Chain A
Amino acid sequence: MAQASVLELRGITKRFPGIVADDHVDFDLRSGEVHALLGENGAGKSTLMNILYGLYRPDEGEIVVKGEPVSFASAKDAIDHGIGMVHQHFMLIPVMTVAENIVLGMEPVRDGVLLDERVAEQSVRDFSARFGLAVDPGARVDEISVGQQQRVEIVKALYRRAEILILDEPTAVLTPQEAGELFEIIRRLRADGTSIIFISHKLNEVLEVADRITVLRRGRKIDTVPREGATEAGLARMMVGREVLLRVEKGPAQPGDLLLEVSDLHVLDERGLERVRGVPFQVRAGEIVGIAGVEGNGQTELVEAITGLLRIESGTVTVAGKTAPQHATVREMLDAGVGHIPEDRQRRGLVLEFTIAENIALHDYDKPPASRRGWLFPGRLIERAARVIREFDVRGGGPLAFARTLSGGNQQKLVVAREVARDPRVLVAAQPTRGLDIGAIEYLHRRLVTERDAGRAILLVSLELDEVLSLADRILVMYEGRIVGEHAAGAGEEEIGLEMLGGGKQAA
């Protein structure tokens, strides 16, 4: 199957102010292969693909498509050369039909001006059948699932005669089942002669679907290896540059007192839609309870209700035996003993323009010793920050460094440090490792287990099923605002994945 290269990137270098995103990277794609591009966040994968797709211009190096050197000024040039890209965030118009989205910009025309819907739908149907992409051309995009939307994106690229398909972290938004279907599609496309670049930072996926794997680290190409003989541990080492522990080491949980009890909780979102519909669960001291679920099934609202950011419509939240008032403020929940690692550390967790010292004071700036009678003591904030930085090994700057200047992993460490340093009874961790690289994930996971063993009750909400499976002592599955399944640690991925899609036995 491996033939001549359809695409070659030679010595691609891209500099941004203060950083070299890609440093003389070579990459080649053979006809009809799946070539995975593997690397941590910030390794230069996305920059490289954006250069290939004409969104950035390289500072050095050349792009060769089918033996012919090319220069792309825009995505249109790339498309004209048979390159298609499915972005992590879909570029679809929700209120239009699948067919309309696919033909957008190159519509079949009837009577000079009108969209010929029949022809459009027929050609979409043809494409779908040819590649085994089950999509209904007449359905509105906002009414189909995320996995189907992704297929629409793929058909859209193929409709534009893409022979080279770039998939940017395609499984990030999918359930395990949907990911499995995607891999099936990828194999069929490959069999049909499409060459695919598969961008990922997930080792198991890469090993499952790729023919060859190129690893980038800090803007440099480390190596290109065939799948045969590659192992997760070996790839992880190439990505990170050292040995990595892929599994979380933890002893069995020793549940103690009941610290967090949520009963029949109902929560509306900002638009008044009911997003949490009667959720009950309990978390005891010394255990990690994981909530698995596909994004948008009420997890965010559940967390925000427990932490006082959203109003509770009905039901109760009880922390360490005390039931919170119905319209508890954030401050009241903090004082009740809830610590919160928010799902978006940059939007919620940190004031990026504040210094580390100021960020650490975010919850208690108005209490002694940080302040007295409204008078702030910056010296004390700095002293405390220096202590916390040392204790939690936050790197990248001292107490007066701005949070913005820290790496993502260290920003998250800063958030965790602040929350843990308050000694909360209950720690709510929402997607604590989102967007972090392997090394930082490893640290975060260890830390959560440490805090569990220190007797805190930990509620872990994550979209990464792997994370829930490897960390949680009990697993709850959330679907459309309800808990649809409860499992002990070590439960099967299959069953949980099915419940995440609403297909479980107890699904409402």
Chain B
Amino acid sequence: MTEPVDAAAGPPEEEPPAGFAVRLGVAQRAGGVAVPILTAVVAFAMGGIVVLATGHNPWTAYKGIFAGAGLNWFVHVPWNTSTVNLDAYNLSQTLLLTTTLILTGLAVAFSFRCGMFNIGGQGQYIVGLVTANWVGVSFAGWPTLPHVLLGIAAATLAGGIWAGVAGFLKATTGAHEVISTIMLNWIAIWGGSYLFGQGGPLQNAQDPSSPVSGAVAQSARLPVFWGSSLLQGLDVGFFVALAMLVVFWLLLNRTTLGYEVRAVGFNPDAAAYGGINVKRSYFMAMAISGMFAGLAGALDMLGYLFQYGTLDVQASQIGFLGIAVALLGRNTAVGTGIAAFLFGGLLYGTTRGLNPNVFDPGLAGNLTSMIQGLVVLFVGADIVILYLWNARRKLRLRQQEAPA
């Protein structure tokens, strides 16, 4: 019972905290993957129930959406890359949306890792669109590479500044980023509408009657690598987005800036104690978030939109969908990539990709919104899901004990 106490040694560890710690760690890691998967499954299942309630067959509906998203392409081996093939074309369109969603998702995820909720992805995306359009139209005649790079750089920077305003306000006055980014969204939406609208500075000079921007010059357009540039093929922006997933991961995990951002996100008090400038971290994280969204706008504008109308500005939702992408992806690089693909497929498969004879597109579009909403709701409620999960385990434990 008694043992000599070594001066350097601490209390002897009779308790099994190592075992407990390990188990907790495993549970957290398992919960980290299981929860979002469960979230997606439950969201889709509930969507199916609603489809059923409207008198449609959910199996047919989801099969239609699956086909509409071009996912059947993977089934038919050998893969036929020709986009004359409808499956391949649909898949290229899904990937086009995935490109945007990866970046608008990262825009939410990065600030989240710093403990902030960037609702302003939509506004930052629009600012990126507008800036890229302006550069793309204005510097016609430049060689392609510098023109494209300038467009991308300017739009990325503009998105960063737009979000940086919210970060700056939070750092200096404590203004909550949710409020300020929502307000900045409206400024971006109506600012964009003005710029592209009739008589607006960026309106198409060739067609003064319609509220549409000028068209991006050929020299500023991103090369298409899958499909035809005339049929909105998949441009190289897709690879830029994939690269940004890597950049996101490196930035967070391999730089001092990322260390600061994560420390502040987990515990701003401890970060301040450690000597980290918490306010600077808020600003930087927000600005970088905005840069991801601004880049999304640039790639869309220079990749396939080229021209944008005021109604498009007001109707666009892709930045908001980034919130669901980030939440479902647990604000990680890999998770955001997967969630972006899921939502990209869902979005395209329920709209243009959907065969209207299979399933009513009106209903399908609402299905997307519903699943999006459910995902946000469930991720917010993942505590509840974990609780149910544990309750189930406890129940099983009790049942095992009962016969004893």
A218 contacts B3, C-beta separation under 8 Å: no
Per-residue 0/1 for A355-367: is the Cβ within 8 Å of any B Cβ (1 yes, 0 no)? 0001001110110
For chains A and B in complex, what number of residue pairs have CB atoms within 8 angstroms? 139
Min CB gap B402→A, angstroms? 12
For the complex, is B7 an interface residue (Cβ under 8 Å from A)? yes
For the complex, is B57 an interface residue (Cβ under 8 Å from A)? no
Partner of B274, one of A242, A347, A362, A396: A362
Per-residue 0/1 for B137-148: is the Cβ within 8 Å of any A Cβ (1 yes, 0 no)? 000000000000
Given contacts A331-B275, A340-B273, A374-B255, are A18 and B23 in contact (CB under 8 A)? yes
Partner of A378, one of B11, B253, B269, B270: B253
CA distance A245 to B11 in the complex (A): 12
CA distance A331 to B275 in the complex (A): 5
Q: A244 — which chain B residues lie within 8 A by C-beta?
A: 5
For the complex, is B10 an interface residue (Cβ under 8 Å from A)? yes
Min CB gap A373→B, angstroms? 9
Given contacts A242-B2, A330-B274, A397-B21, are A351 and B254 in contact (CB under 8 A)? no
A393 contacts B21, C-beta separation under 8 Å: no
CA distance A442 to B1 in the complex (A): 18
For the complex, is B20 an interface residue (Cβ under 8 Å from A)? yes
Q: A352 — which chain B residues lie within 8 A by C-beta?
A: 266-267
Per-residue 0/1 for B296-330: is the Cβ within 8 Å of any A Cβ (1 yes, 0 no)? 00000000000000000000000000000000000
Number of residues from B at the complex interface, CB < 8 A: 44
Min CB gap A362→B, angstroms? 4
Partner of A405, one of B10, B14, B21: B21
For the complex, is B55 an interface residue (Cβ under 8 Å from A)? no
Q: Which of A329, A334, A362 has the most CB of B within 10 A?
A: A362
B7 contacts A446, C-beta separation under 8 Å: yes
Q: B271 — which chain A residues lie within 8 A by C-beta?
A: 351
Q: B267 — which chain A residues lie within 8 A by C-beta?
A: 347, 350-353
B275 contacts A354, C-beta separation under 8 Å: no
Given contacts A351-B263, A378-B253, A443-B10, are A218 and B15 in contact (CB under 8 A)? yes
CA distance A410 to B17 in the complex (A): 11
Q: B25 — which chain A residues lie within 8 A by C-beta?
A: 401-402, 405
Partner of A376, one of B5, B255, B273: B255
Q: B390 — which chain A residues lie within 8 A by C-beta?
A: 17
For the complex, is B8 an interface residue (Cβ under 8 Å from A)? yes
Q: A446 — which chain B residues lie within 8 A by C-beta?
A: 7
CA distance A245 to B9 in the complex (A): 13
For the complex, is B175 an interface residue (Cβ under 8 Å from A)? no
Min CB gap B288→A, angstroms? 13
Q: A298 — which chain B residues lie within 8 A by C-beta?
A: none
For the complex, is B256 an interface residue (Cβ under 8 Å from A)? yes
Min CB gap A451→B, angstroms? 13
A365 contacts B259, C-beta separation under 8 Å: yes
Closest to B267 in A: A351
A-B contact list, 22 entries, CB within 8 Å: A17-B27, A237-B1, A330-B272, A331-B275, A342-B273, A347-B269, A354-B266, A362-B263, A362-B270, A363-B274, A365-B259, A374-B257, A376-B254, A393-B10, A396-B18, A401-B21, A401-B25, A405-B17, A405-B22, A406-B17, A409-B11, A442-B5
- What is A's interface to B at a CB cutoff of 8 Å? 17-19, 218, 237, 240-245, 307, 309, 329-331, 334, 340, 342, 347-354, 358, 361-363, 365-366, 371, 374-376, 378, 393, 395-397, 401-402, 404-407, 409-410, 413, 437-440, 442-443, 446
Query: Known contacts A241-B1, A405-B21; can you find 11 more A-B pairs with CB under 8 A?
Result: A242-B1, A243-B3, A307-B273, A329-B275, A347-B267, A350-B270, A351-B266, A365-B260, A410-B10, A413-B10, A446-B7
The list of the 9 closest CB pairs from A to B, nearest first, reads A439-B11, A405-B21, A362-B274, A331-B275, A353-B266, A443-B10, A330-B275, A366-B256, A243-B2
